Homo-oligomer: A and B are copies of this chain.
Amino acid sequence: MAKAPTVYDVADRAGVSIATVSRVLRMPDAVRPVTRDRVLDAVTALGYVPSGSARGLAERRTGVIGLYFPGFDAAEEAPTLDVLSVGAAHPFTIIHDEAAAEGTTPEEGPGSMLFLDEVLRGAELEAWKQGFVLMVGVGRNDPDRSTVRDMAGRVDGLVVLASSVPDDVLERLAVRIPVVVLSGPPRGDSYDHVTVSNTEAMTELARLVLEQSGGRAPAFLAGPADSPDGAQRWQGFSDAMAEAGIALDDVVVVRGDFTRASGRRAAEELMANGLPLALMSANDQMALGALDAFRAAGVRVPEDLLVTGFDGIDAAALSHPRLTTVRQPMIELGRAAVQVLMNRLEHPDTDPIFVRLPLEITLRESSLRRP
């Protein structure tokens, strides 16, 4: 690796001063064409690439924005891998995956994985459009090394997902650089926020279900007690019941933990105690689990009962019947967060912004009584 050429090298070779080199790169029109060409030739000849560090230091901005994700425990426990010390690896391994019962769709990783991927795509796209590059970090509970702070020193602004960063840390960072909180519940009113309307969308979905079920109360498959998303969705459901004059006491509520298995268990519990006309789940995974259990027991969806989910994961479009759900506008969330951040970079002292993106209620066979 040859030592990277600097402005000085380019200047020498082009027979100009370093100021001129800098100008050619940043305000080409301020330089006489002949000079400019000489410089550009030197640049290509040397393979010069400006140092981001030096530029960042001088400009007092990095041109980088950070996206910080919550991590999953799974990641930390990743098996060690040491590709360099492996000898000639076998070119393939054979896996017999014939065990799974057909029709039972496998549990996916945390539902939020896909969500994060899409958000990242949106964020990268928007960052690029604005001439920035993206740095990504994943939250891990490592006592003595904090990636957020690592990142904070290298970026002009930070998009932080939900509760991936503790309150006190977030507060400290926000002093130095702008922070946008993406998704999840509001975290104080000194940050910009980008979220979706969980509550309102769930209310509307419940209205639609009530229409189909002749106004009879659906059962609710709730998420874990400590999930903010789960709470908002339950709130939306409650609102719709109130609106329809249904007492919450008359509603059957089963609590799950957002996994497919817990959805299956919930469905079995319901079947044992008498089927409701509809089951509204706080997320897709549980709804899909319930769907599996219903099918196994010969309960027909939507004929015998309606089922709805929430999140819009891909698997919801692949189930039988396909699952009615509420899709998160994932790409748009990523893009919106970056837009808000850019805005903040330009107007540091305006009031915090609170952007809500619309959710997409996606009606499919699982919630539509056929005529």
Q: Which residues of A contact B (CB under 8 A)?
A: 1-2, 4, 47, 49-57, 62-64, 75, 78, 81-84, 86, 89-98, 100, 102-103, 105-106, 108, 113-114, 117, 120-121, 124-126, 128, 131, 133-138, 140, 145, 147, 149-155, 172-173, 175-178, 194, 197, 200-201, 204, 208, 314-315, 317-318, 320-322, 326-327, 331-332, 335-336, 339-340, 343, 348-349, 353, 355-365, 368
Contacts and interface: CB of A to CB of B under 8 A. Distances in A.
Contacts of A124: 136-138
Given A83-B340, A150-B133, A49 B173 contact: yes
19 contacts: A47-B175, A53-B53, A64-B154, A75-B125, A83-B332, A92-B358, A92-B361, A93-B358, A93-B361, A94-B363, A97-B322, A102-B320, A108-B314, A114-B117, A120-B120, A124-B136, A125-B138, A131-B145, A318-B318
A78 B121 CA distance: 11
A151 to B, nearest CB: 6
A53 B197 CA distance: 39
A348 B2 CA distance: 10
Contacts of A100: 317, 322
B358 A63 contact: no
Contact of A2 (B84, B147, B175): B175
Contacts of A134: 135-137
Contacts of A200: 91-92
Contacts of A120: 117, 120, 136
Contacts of A63: 150
Contacts of A135: 64, 133-136
A126 B81 CA distance: 9
Q: How many copies does the complex hold?
A: 2
A121 B74 CA distance: 12
A196 to B, nearest CB: 8
Given A91-B356, A363-B96, A194 B2 contact: no
A152 B4 CA distance: 11
Given A83-B339, A133-B135, A57 B53 contact: yes
Given A200-B92, A368-B98, A177 B1 contact: yes
A93 B329 CA distance: 11
Contact of A201 (B51, B91, B315): B91
Nearest to A126: B81
Contacts of A357: 83, 89
Given A81-B339, A137-B133, A318-B315, A359 B57 contact: no
Contact of A52 (B153, B172, B335, B364): B153
Q: Across the A-B interface, give the 10 residue pairs with the lowest CB-CB distance, nearest first.
A: A52-B154, A53-B56, A91-B197, A91-B200, A117-B117, A92-B201, A53-B57, A83-B336, A52-B153, A47-B175
Contact of A81 (B64, B201, B332): B332
Given A53-B62, A98-B363, A363-B95, A133 B153 contact: no
Contacts of A364: 97-98
A75 to B, nearest CB: 6
Contacts of A93: 358-361
Contacts of A359: 91-93
Given A4-B175, A52-B62, A315-B318, 7 more contacts: A51-B57, A75-B121, A81-B332, A84-B355, A114-B117, A128-B137, A133-B150
